[in-house]
Structure 1
Amino acid sequence: MRTATVNRNTAETKIGVTVNLDGTGVYRVATGIGFLDHMLEQLSRHALIDIDVTVDGDLHIDQHHTTEDSALAIGDAISKALGDRRGIMRYGTAYAPMDEALTRAAVDISGRPFLVWKLEFTQEKLGEWDTELVEHWFHSFAQSAGLTLHVENLYGRNNHHLVESAFKALARALRQAVEIDSRKADAVPSTKGVL
Structure 2
Amino acid sequence: MSRSTKVAVASTAAGLLALGGGLSIAGQAAADPTTSPSSSPSASPSNPGPGKGGHRGGPGRGSHDSDLAEKLAEKLNVDQPKVTEALKAVREANKPTSRPPTGASPSERPSRPDPATRDAAQAKGLAEKLGVAEATVTKALEEIRAEQQTERAAALKSRLDAAVKAGTLTQAEADAVTKAVEKGVIGGR
TM-score range, shorter chain: under 0.3
TM-score by length of 2: 0.27
Q: Which structure features the higher share of helix residues?
A: 2
TM-score by length of 1: 0.26
Larger Rg: 2
Q: Which structure features the higher share of strand residues?
A: 1
